[in-house]
């Protein structure tokens, strides 16, 4: 760890040019990397800024300034071996105090020869006797360097050897154009000396020198950057190989106290105190260290909820907490073997796993014929139940769901273990050069599970090499160790890859926790049925993402075919995945990627020549020519970044980050499927007063079916529904300024085109066309529209952002979380209507706005270049959410819009053709308050649902409350119950809504959740279920004269069972089926033994807010006296809202992001409920 060179084999090349170039010695300074200065913490673990260093005062060890510093401008010596707990030597002859190795490397003689300056020395030399008088004058010229160099005195001369002198800081760049260069990296003629002269380079060099220049410093900095950011919920301890041999003690070698505790500030301070004082010394007993970690996990302390905390008891244990061991080394293991207290379960022996699955001792990639290896110990501590008195509640981790159940179980990418076990993440520092066995190649770009060596072992064409004490094969044993324990191996040579390895490990652990809590899919599931007379095919399109695979995404199509077998009189189902889009991506040059252009289509190809076009914002060429690793400093890699975004992969792992898939993550966006015309022909013709839709619909009968979805690779993608091949992509201008981040080797996830596309047919006054409206959600503050009528001939219609809001003090666009609605207005325009979203400029002024745009041109249809603005409480953040438009008289024209805001106000907007206005005198229709004494506002972030009031007058506006898009929302607000409301808007004419209306909770009837229990469906599958009240609502009262007045204005349903507050909220849009409203709630959960969030699906009578009159779910309670109880809520896996699909046989499916379940057909849902269809191509 004291070495300042990588790999080990170049130790005897210290005097060469190449040893001072990062391309040959990965530990040396690399000007292409921006070295991050670590944050500084006091002894209590509290952040107190960042460490400091400078070019003229560069500390030997940035964490220990007291050891001294040097001036890199004059006194630089190349470190070759450095003990980080001591000062560097003051001259070239200094050696390591324990090992005796030279601390410094010589300067290359080619560039540091013993040059001379004119110095004349005269002296008198007398020998023997002389008879003559006078003297002899002898003059000698010596050429000595004028600088103050180290001197070596001979018998007759004095020379200066510059190769061993202190000089200004420098490095070498590999340049194959140099004279006599053979393009061999070992050829010193291929290296050009560079002096550190620019201010930026000087500071970067100083940071490298003080925090990264040898393996120990780089590893310390990597651990500082990665581990200090752990949440306090993590329980954490540490050990060393030689001087800290306990994981729960108070020894001096462990920093005085490394007891296993929650990672609070105090524990962070203890860890850093140890980390910054490690004396890297002696052998590499990795097996003993791994054994200590495994044995520690058998103790009571390892599983306590608050280990080593005051007042802790032995009963508060969590059986579901996974355990991870991060093992980092720059050496090949030797010395002691680990000594498990249970009979060893090595990978070459057969045994039964704790879940009764048999391991036969021969299964690849685990088994080998070697004994007493690190991998054997890893297998043992994975395959052994380390705490037999705890229930087996560890959540399995499945990242690859291909194949049979057995294939998924034994896939080393997955971890099916539910018992208490240990997963190892291993990091080899400077050992990549040893991963050179034939057929066992390692590729940093491909990693643990895709490198050629792993694939060959998996296929049986190669085997794990024999490992033994001090063997070069032991680096393979590190790789094998990770695989046997279902972890991951990292081979890191340079300082930046060490940092990235630790960062990736933390990301992997966080991902495992997340994926264990819910599948790595979003709500993007679209299910449709098609039939050809002989079979019914259910077509499902599913989006997914995985942070473990470097934020790769996928869109898959799966078909379920149901055929009737006439011979048996039964139906036979078959399932198949038709395609995976990530496997079908076209070659980079073949992709049809478009950006804003100036031609008739408004689009142009995403090429380097077009990136500088004036039509692009920025311009794009300039924005791409910025290095995200260096604070967006300008560079010359713009074209290479553009090619990377197009899918070019040659620079991955070197210049840019490694991807496992060209297709980026599909996180929040749900797919939109486009095939035939979308409306009833007669309806659309009547709406526009002509027969143009008849012509349009006929022309669309054979339109190619496309699937559109937004991706966090910066693009809206369009895929051929039949083949899965991407045929179109569009990059909105609003994400241009951060496209370069997507290429960074230290990429931290960014959102780009994260919204779900909305598709509609619109009439432009002369013809119909199909448009797609896209949003960015957290990716940006913009909305865009494309004409997608003809696949292959797409047009950009408009992009909308703050630049269009030029009115005085206009409310600005926030992040476009609001889902647009496309509707026909009484003005004759087709419009796109959406809220201004969240965190707009000046959003804390309490204002929000509804934007109404011409669907074809993007022009604002509201006055004064502003939206329809509303004012909540000043000084409190606000933003308008997704609106719901009302077609009150069923003529196809929207008269009103309803939307909620973050302050809990429900607004109505009148879309009168003479004037658009905020209804009720610019006041809310209703303002939410919690039912508890605090009377806190309840934020509204989902679109309302509308149903006709039973009196025939006005609407009931149904909506739920809750907020779940900021970090502070992750646990939910448990100080109050969120609520579902039904508010009666009895005013159906804009002229009735010029003055404020006062509706409060006292005007509403209260419904509540009655019971929660377990029910079973017709397939005997159990589910948690809830019942709710059905309190009658008396809408009107009559006075003594028989005059009716409104008595109640609606109802409330608090989302709580009894007095329990668990943060349950409504954040997704509702769905209607007949007279039933379905909605999904989300319950955040910080209990580590439960899913990260659970979901309830409710079915209510929207008129009363109570239970339905029929069974809305295929569920019944098992108790004899409850079998007829109407169940109003059931747990249903899959976040992201619900959709209802109708099958050709008239039945219905209720779908979430994970599953589709049949729902009984309501008695009042006769006839087709949706006119959108997908045709199989």
Hunting for tokens 């057909």 — which residue is that?
Answer: 1161
Q: Are both 89 and 196 inside the same structural domain?
A: yes
Average pLDDT over residues 1036-1045: 87
Q: What is the pLDDT of residues 96-140, one digit of tens each?
A: 888 888 899 999 999 998 754 444 444 445 555 545 444 444 444
Q: Is 1163 inside a domain boundary?
A: no
- Residue 65 pLDDT exceeds 90: yes
Look up residue 5 and give its DSSP letter.
S
Domain housing 380? 315-517
- Residue 1176 pLDDT exceeds 60: no
Q: Are both 411 and 555 inside the same structural domain?
A: no
Q: What is the pLDDT of residues 498-526, one digit of tens each?
A: 888 888 888 788 767 544 332 223 334 45
- CA pair distance 438, 440, nearest whole angstrom: 5
Name residues whose C-beta falls within 8 Å of residue 89's C-beta, 6 or more positions apart in sequence. Answer: 95, 103, 104
Q: What are phi and psi of 554, to 5 degrees?
A: -155, 150
Secondary element (H or E) of residue 271: helix 265-275
- CA pair distance 872, 836, nearest whole angstrom: 14
Q: Which of 146-150, 731-735, 1057-1061 has the highest mean pLDDT?
A: 731-735
Residue 1145's pLDDT band, with cuts at 50, 70 and 90, is low
The mean pLDDT of the chain is 87
Q: Is 411 helix (H, G, I), strand (E, B) or coil?
A: coil
Smallest Cα–Cα separation from 553: which of 518, 520, 526?
520
Q: Are both 104 and 26 inside the same structural domain?
A: yes
Q: Is 709 inside a domain boundary?
A: no
Q: Are both 504 and 571 inside the same structural domain?
A: no
Q: What is the pLDDT of residues 1087-1133, one digit of tens each?
A: 555 555 678 999 999 999 999 999 999 899 887 778 789 999 998 76
Distances (CA, A) of 140 to 117, 143, 148, 158, 958: 14, 10, 21, 12, 104
Hunting for tokens 């806190």 — which residue is that?
Answer: 936
Q: Is 507 inside a domain boundary?
A: yes
Domain count of the chain? 5
Q: Is 1131 inside a domain boundary?
A: yes
pLDDT > 70 in the chain, percent: 90
Q: What is the pLDDT of residues 233-242, one digit of tens each?
A: 788 998 888 8
Q: Are both 156 and 72 inside the same structural domain?
A: no
Q: Are both 1106 and 992 inside the same structural domain?
A: yes
The percent helix, strand, coil of the chain (3-state, each to 5) is 20, 30, 55
Q: Are both 176 and 69 inside the same structural domain?
A: yes
Distances (CA, A) of 233 to 130, 236, 302, 686, 1061: 95, 9, 14, 61, 21
Q: Which of 373-387, 419-433, 492-506, 1008-1022 has the highest mean pLDDT?
A: 373-387
How is residue 1040 written in tokens?
């003594």
How is residue 294 written in tokens?
């495994």
Q: Is 716 inside a domain boundary?
A: no
Q: Is 654 inside a domain boundary?
A: no
Determine the pLDDT at residue 562: 73
Give 965-990 as a DSSP string: SSGGGTT--TTS--EEEEEEE---SG
- Residue 625 pLDDT exceeds 70: yes
Q: Are both 477 and 499 inside the same structural domain?
A: yes
Q: Are both 512 and 376 inside the same structural domain?
A: yes
How is residue 1116 written in tokens?
């019944």
Q: Are both 1031 and 1130 inside the same structural domain?
A: yes
Q: What is the pLDDT of residues 690-708, one digit of tens each?
A: 999 999 999 999 999 999 9
Q: Are both 453 and 551 inside the same structural domain?
A: no
Determine the pLDDT at residue 339: 81
Minimum mean pLDDT range among 150-159, 266-275, 631-640, 1129-1138: 150-159
Determine the pLDDT at residue 687: 95
Buried b (16+ CB within 10 A) or exposed e, 13-39: bbbbbbbbbbbbbbbbbbbbbbbbbbe
* SS3 per-residue string spanning 163-208: HHCCECCEEEEECCCCCCCCCCCCCHHHEEEEECCCHHHHHHHHHH
Q: Is 1092 inside a domain boundary?
A: yes
Q: Is 20 inside a domain boundary?
A: yes
Average pLDDT over residues 908-933: 95
Asked whether 72 and 207 are in contact (CB, 8 A), the reply is no
Q: Are both 963 and 1084 inside the same structural domain?
A: yes
Average pLDDT over residues 958-969: 88
Determine the pLDDT at residue 988: 84
The strand ranges marked E within 316-396 are 323-329, 351-352, 358-359
Residue ending a domain, choose from 517, 541, 556:
517
Q: Is 767 helix (H, G, I), strand (E, B) or coil?
A: coil
């Amino acid at each position: 760890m004291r070495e300042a060179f990588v790999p080990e084999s170049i130790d005897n090349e210290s005097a060469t040019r190449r040893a001072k170039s990062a391309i040959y010695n990965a530990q040396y300074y690399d000007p292409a990397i921006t070295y991050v200065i670590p944050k500084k913490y006091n002894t209590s673990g509290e952040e107190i800024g960042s460490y400091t260093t400078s070019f003229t005062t560069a500390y030997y060890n940035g964490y220990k300034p007291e050891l001294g510093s040097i001036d890199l401008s004059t006194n630089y010596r190349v470190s070759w071996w450095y003990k980080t707990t001591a000062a560097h030597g003051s001259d070239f002859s200094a050696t390591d105090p324990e090992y005796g190795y030279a601390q410094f490397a010589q300067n290359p003689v080619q560039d540091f020869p013993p040059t001379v300056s004119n110095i004349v020395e005269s002296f008198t030399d007398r020998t023997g006797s002389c008879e003559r008088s006078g003297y002899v004058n002898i003059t000698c010229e010596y050429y000595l360097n004028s600088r103050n160099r180290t001197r070596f005195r001979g018998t007759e001369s004095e020379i200066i050897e510059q190769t061993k002198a202190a000089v200004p800081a420098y490095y070498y760049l590999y340049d194959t154009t140099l004279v006599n260069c053979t393009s061999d990296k070992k050829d010193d003629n291929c290296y050009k000396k560079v002096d550190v002269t620019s201010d930026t380079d000087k500071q970067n060099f100083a940071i490298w020198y003080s925090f990264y220049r040898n393996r120990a410093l780089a590893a310390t900095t990597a651990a500082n950057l990665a581990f200090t950011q752990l949440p306090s919920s993590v329980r954490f301890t540490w050990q060393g190989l030689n001087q800290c041999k306990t994981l729960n003690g108070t020894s001096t070698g462990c920093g005085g106290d490394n007891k296993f505790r929650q990672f609070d500030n105090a524990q962070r301070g203890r860890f850093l105190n140890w980390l910054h004082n490690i004396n890297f010394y002696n052998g590499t007993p990795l097996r003993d260290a791994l054994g200590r970690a495994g044995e520690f996990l058998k103790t009571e302390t390892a599983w306590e909820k608050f280990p080593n905390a005051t007042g802790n008891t032995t009963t508060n244990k969590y059986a579901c907490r996974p355990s991870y061991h991060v093992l980092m080394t720059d050496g090949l293991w030797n010395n002691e073997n680990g000594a498990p207290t249970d009979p060893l379960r090595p990978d070459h022996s057969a045994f039964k796993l704790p879940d009764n699955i048999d391991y036969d001792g021969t299964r690849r990639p685990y088994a080998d014929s070697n004994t007493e290896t690190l991998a054997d110990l890893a297998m043992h501590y994975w395959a052994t139940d380390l705490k037999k008195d705890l229930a087996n509640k560890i959540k399995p981790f499945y990242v690859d769901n291909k194949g049979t159940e057995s294939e998924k179980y034994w896939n080393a990418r997955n971890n099916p273990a539910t018992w208490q076990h240990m997963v190892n993440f291993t990091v080899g520092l400077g050992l990549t050069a040893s991963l050179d066995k034939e057929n066992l190649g390692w590729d940093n770009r491909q990693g643990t599970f895709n490198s050629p060596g792993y694939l060959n072992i998996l296929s049986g064409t190669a085997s794990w090499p024999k490992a033994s004490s001090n063997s070069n094969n032991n680096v393979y044993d590190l790789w094998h160790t990770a695989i046997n324990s279902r972890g991951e191996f990292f081979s890191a040579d340079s300082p930046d890859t060490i940092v990235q390895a630790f960062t990736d490990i933390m990301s992997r652990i966080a991902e495992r926790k997340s994926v264990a809590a819910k599948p790595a899919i979003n709500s993007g599931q679209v299910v449709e049925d098609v039939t050809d007379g002989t079979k019914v095919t259910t077509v499902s399109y599913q989006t997914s993402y995985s942070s473990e695979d470097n934020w790769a995404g996928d869109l898959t199509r799966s078909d379920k075919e149901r055929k009737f077998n006439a011979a048996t009189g039964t139906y036979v189902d078959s399932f198949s995945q038709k395609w995976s889009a990530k496997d079908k991506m076209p070659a980079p040059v073949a992709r049809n990627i478009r950006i804003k252009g100036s031609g008739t289509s408004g689009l142009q190809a995403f090429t380097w020549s077009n990136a500088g076009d004036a039509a692009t914002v920025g311009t794009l060429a300039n924005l791409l020519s910025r290095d995200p690793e260096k604070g967006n400093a300008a560079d010359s890699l713009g074209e290479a970044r553009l090619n990377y975004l197009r899918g070019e992969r040659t620079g991955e792992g070197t210049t840019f980050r490694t991807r496992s898939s060209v297709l980026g993550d599909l996180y929040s966006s749900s797919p939109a499927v486009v095939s035939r015309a979308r409306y009833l022909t007669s309806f659309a013709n009547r709406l526009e007063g002509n027969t143009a839709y008849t012509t349009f619909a006929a022309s669309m009968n054979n339109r190619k079916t496309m699937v559109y979805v937004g991706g966090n690779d910066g693009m809206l993608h369009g895929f051929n529904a039949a083949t899965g091949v991407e045929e179109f992509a569009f990059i909105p201008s609003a994400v241009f300024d951060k496209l370069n981040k997507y290429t960074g080797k230290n990429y931290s996830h960014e959102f780009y085109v994260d919204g779900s596309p909305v598709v509609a047919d619109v009439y432009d006054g002369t013809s119909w066309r199909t448009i797609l409206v896209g949003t960015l959600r957290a990716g940006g503050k913009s909305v865009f529209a494309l004409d997608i009528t003809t696949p292959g001939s797409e047009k950009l219609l408009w992009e909308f952002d703050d630049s269009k809001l030029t009115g005085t003090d206009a409310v600005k666009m926030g992040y476009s979380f609001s889902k647009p609605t496309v509707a026909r207005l009484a003005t004759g325009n087709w419009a796109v209507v959406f809220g201004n979203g969240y965190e707009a400029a000046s959003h804390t002024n309490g204002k929000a706005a509804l934007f109404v745009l011409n669907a074809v041109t993007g022009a604002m249809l509201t006055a004064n270049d502003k939206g329809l603005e509303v004012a909540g409480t000043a000084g409190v953040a606000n933003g308008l959410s997704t609106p719901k438009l009302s077609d009150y008289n069923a003529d196809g024209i929207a008269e009103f819009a309803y939307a909620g805001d973050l302050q809990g106000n429900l607004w109505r907007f009148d879309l009168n053709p003479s004037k658009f206005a905020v209804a009720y005198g610019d006041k809310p229709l209703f303002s939410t308050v919690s039912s508890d004494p605090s009377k806190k506002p309840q934020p509204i972030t989902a679109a309302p649902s509308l149903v006709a009031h039973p009196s025939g007058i006005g609407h009931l506006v149904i909506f739920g409350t809750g907020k779940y898009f900021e970090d502070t929302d992750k646990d939910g607000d448990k100080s109050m119950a969120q609520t579902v409301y039904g508010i009666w808007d009895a005013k159906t004419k804009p002229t009735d809504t010029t003055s404020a209306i006062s509706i409060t909770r006292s005007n509403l009837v209260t419904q509540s959740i009655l019971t929660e229990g377990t029910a079973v469906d017709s397939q005997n599958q159990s589910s948690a279920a809830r019942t709710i009240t059905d309190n009658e609502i008396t809408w009107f009262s009559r006075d003594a004269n028989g005059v009716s007045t409104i008595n109640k204005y609606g109802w409330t349903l608090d989302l709580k069972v009894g007095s329990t507050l668990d943060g349950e909220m409504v954040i997704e849009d509702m769905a209607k089926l007949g007279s039933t409203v379905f909605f999904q709630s989300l319950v955040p959960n910080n209990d580590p033994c439960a899913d990260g969030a659970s979901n309830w699906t409710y079915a209510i009578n929207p008129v009363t807010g109570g239970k339905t009159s029929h069974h809305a779910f295929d569920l019944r309670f098992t108790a004899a006296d409850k079998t007829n109880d109407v169940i109003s809520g059931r747990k249903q896996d899959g976040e992201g809202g619900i959709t209802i699909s109708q099958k050709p046989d008239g039945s219905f499916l209720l779908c979430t992001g994970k599953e589709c379940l049949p729902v009984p057909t309501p008695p009042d849902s006769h006839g087709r409920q949706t006119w959108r269809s997908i045709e199989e191509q």
